[in-house]
Amino acid sequence: MIRLSQERAKVLLAVHGWSGVLLGLLLYAVILTGVIAVFADEIGDWSSPLEQETVAPFPVGLDAKLRELATTVDPKYHEDLSIFPRAGGRIEAFFHHHITPEGASQPEDFGVEFKLHPQTLEVLDRREGFGEDIGAFNVSNALADFLVELHVSLHIPDPWGLLVTGMLGLAMMVAAVTGLLVHRHLIKEMFTIRKFREAMLVRRDAHVIAATWNLPFAFILAFTGSFFSFASSMGIPAMAMVAFGGDQVKLIETIVGMPPVENTAAAPIGNLDAMFADARQRAKMEPAFASISHFGRADAQVTVFTRPADGELISHNYVYDGPTGAFVREKPGLGLVPSVGGAAADLMGPLHFGNFAGLLSKAVWFALGFASCYVALTGMLLWTARRAESPAWRRMERAVIWVGFGLPLSLALVPWGYFIGRSRGAMELEAPMAIAFIATALATGLLTILVSEPERLRRFLLAGTGVALIGAPGLRLIADGPGWMSALSAHLSTVPALDVALLLGGVLCLRAAWGRSRVVVPAAQDGDAEEGEVAAS
């Protein structure tokens, strides 16, 4: 055991406490944005619906339309074609090839993207350029993409954003494991809440109960999140450097599979409608993504990806011969042959996103993620309240409230930026959403400085969040969104469902703002609160 002087021990404890709270604030932000990102598809459909519900994401007739579009683009863009459904069921078809921009180390996608109406297959939009630049003008999916990117990388440029969120995932995993070890009476603490004791102990017990029940989910979420963050930011470059001299393309070909022997002879593509139908029948699910290499050549290859069927956790990748349309094989998500490692990698997506059982599993993941937010926030507030005799920790307590209650307000106003920008005809909507988010964060930060009483600050922020949530459905209508009757008659159930969820959330926030605090904790007054300090840490 390392012996430390009392003074040095105090310094190390202070460093431990401050770093823990600061890390906890970032972790809370990642968890909260992840809770929202669970419903990214539904947010896209709610914010930008079409006139009718989309029944089939890859409708019959898409084959003929893609052949027609292929004749309108430069043949060099036939190297790769990506097809995937987007908000409202819109179909995006991206004909592209790969070029390395000046000053870049890796190739990027450059080509022509078409946005198609899912019922009529009419071209709604056509853009040419780098894939990332085209995405900046994706009006229909802008809101969902902004929120997802906030969760994935905190809008920090690659690869640094992924590294930050990956490290936070590891921190969450460490917290889950150490939490399991710290609570010696785990089973007892799962059911213990001392209602008739001092308020500090009641809130400590609520924190411990939520944390204990949430431990398995927290570990799964942290492990899978770290996997996704580090796989692309560190794993692929590191493997490429060690085994392939830095050639990431060669690495991907080795993992995903080598393309067919090159044959540049012209050959019409097979019946894509038939291939999509075959994949639908095999997986018992609609296709979610399709990729075609060397469109119009004898060595063309079609890969169709489907999500897991009901009751399953593993997705499917079906490979077809391009010219004939014949089924070739089912390819594992990782590697060339089925393996334990490949199956484990395939499980990462469903376990992280919670989309393996449709809306039911998403709702469960949302609730568990919300519980994780509660655990993180109450833990930080318990820790800071226990040290409220220190002016520095009192300021930190207000900072925790700023992030804990101000971040939801900033997120709730992001749709305001989206709908206001859209109603004014803006084609690039990331700017108004970023302005809404950053301006709210700065305004709430100023409020945190001006309002010294934590409870009063909490009420202000909760009330603002309630108003923002209640106002979002109205702004959607102002931005030419459908009303409830027209949405229901068109089977667009996501629109009124999310409206109701936002209205209900707003009412609950307003009620919490005027009700008794269940989160903000006064400074502990009795010796029993020492136990709360251990739980919060």
Q: Confidence class of residue 347 from pLDDT cuts 50, 70 and 90?
A: confident
Burial code of 310-334, b = ≥16 C-beta within 10 A, e = fewer?
eeeebbbbbebbbbebebeeebbbe
Q: Which of 133-147, 252-266, 304-318, 500-514 has the lowest mean pLDDT?
A: 252-266
Which stretch of DSSP H or E encloses residue 517? Answer: none
Cross-strand bridge partners of residue 81:
95, 292
Average pLDDT score, the chain? 86
Query: Using one digit for the tens of pLDDT, what is the confidence trace for 413-452?
Result: 999 999 999 999 888 999 999 999 999 999 999 999 999 8
Note whether 286 and 57 are within 8 A (CB): yes
Cα 231 to its chain centre, rounded Å, is: 16
Torsion of CA 140, 141, 147, 148, to 10 degrees: 180
CA angle centred on 501, ends 496 and 505, rounded to 5°: 150
Note whether 116 and 123 are within 8 A (CB): yes
Q: Confidence class of residue 199 from pLDDT cuts 50, 70 and 90?
A: low
Q: What pLDDT score does 525 carry? A: 42
Q: What pLDDT score does 30 carry? A: 93
In order, the DSSP letters of 54-84 are -S-SS-TTHHHHHHHHHTTS-GGGGGEEEEE
Q: Could you count the other beta carbons within 10 Å of the beta carbon of residue 173?
A: 18
CA neighbor of 400 nearest in space, from 432, 377, 420? 377
Q: Confidence class of residue 536 from pLDDT cuts 50, 70 and 90?
A: very low
Q: Confidence class of residue 465 from pLDDT cuts 50, 70 and 90?
A: very high
Q: What pLDDT score does 442 carry? A: 98
For residue 520, pLDDT beyond 70:
no
Q: What pLDDT score does 529 carry? A: 41
Residue 96 phi/psi, 5-degree rounding, is -155, 165
Query: Using one digit for the tens of pLDDT, what is the confidence trace for 33-45?
Result: 999 999 999 999 9
Q: What pLDDT score does 364 carry? A: 93
Distance from C-alpha of 106 to C-alpha of 98, rounded to nearest angstrom = 9
At residue 116, the 3 state secondary structure works out as strand
Share of residues in the chain with pLDDT > 90 (%):
56
Q: What crossing angle do the helices spanning 391-423 and 358-386 adopt, rounded to 10°?
A: 150
Query: Using one digit for the tens of pLDDT, what is the confidence trace for 248-291?
Result: 666 666 666 666 778 999 999 999 999 999 999 999 999 999 99
Q: What tokens appear for 259 in the block?
A: 């393309």
Burial code of 246-258, b = ≥16 C-beta within 10 A, e = fewer?
eebeebeebbbbe
At residue 124, the 3 state secondary structure works out as strand
Q: Is the peptide bond before 159 cis (omega within 30 degrees of 0)?
A: yes
Q: What tokens appear for 266 in the block?
A: 């012209």
Distance from C-alpha of 389 to C-alpha of 383, rounded to nearest angstrom = 12
Place of tokens 């010796």: 527
Distance from C-alpha of 54 to C-alpha of 420, rounded to nearest angstrom = 26
Residue 243 phi/psi, 5-degree rounding, is -105, -20
Whole-structure pTM value? 0.87
Q: What pLDDT score does 1 carry? A: 44
Q: Which residues contact 459 (CB under 8 A, 6 or more apart)?
A: 513, 514
For residue 232, pLDDT beyond 80:
no
Cross-strand bridge partners of residue 80:
96, 293
Q: What pLDDT score does 517 carry? A: 60
Q: Which of 200-214, 306-320, 375-389, 432-446 has the lowest mean pLDDT?
A: 200-214
First to last CA, the chain: 21
Q: What are the contacts of 388-392 at 24+ separation with CB within 8 A? A: 388/522, 388/523, 389/523
Q: Could you count the other beta carbons within 10 Å of the beta carbon of residue 395?
A: 14
Which stretch of DSSP H or E encloses residue 85? Answer: strand 80-85
For residue 91, pLDDT beyond 80:
yes
Q: What pLDDT score does 22 carry? A: 85
For residue 177, pLDDT beyond 60:
yes
Q: Which residues contact 103 (CB under 8 A, 6 or more apart)?
A: none
Q: What pLDDT score does 233 carry? A: 61
Note whether 447 and 460 are within 8 A (CB): yes
Q: What pLDDT score does 238 carry? A: 60
Distance from C-alpha of 536 to C-alpha of 404, rounded to nearest angstrom = 16
Q: Confidence class of residue 308 from pLDDT cuts 50, 70 and 90?
A: confident
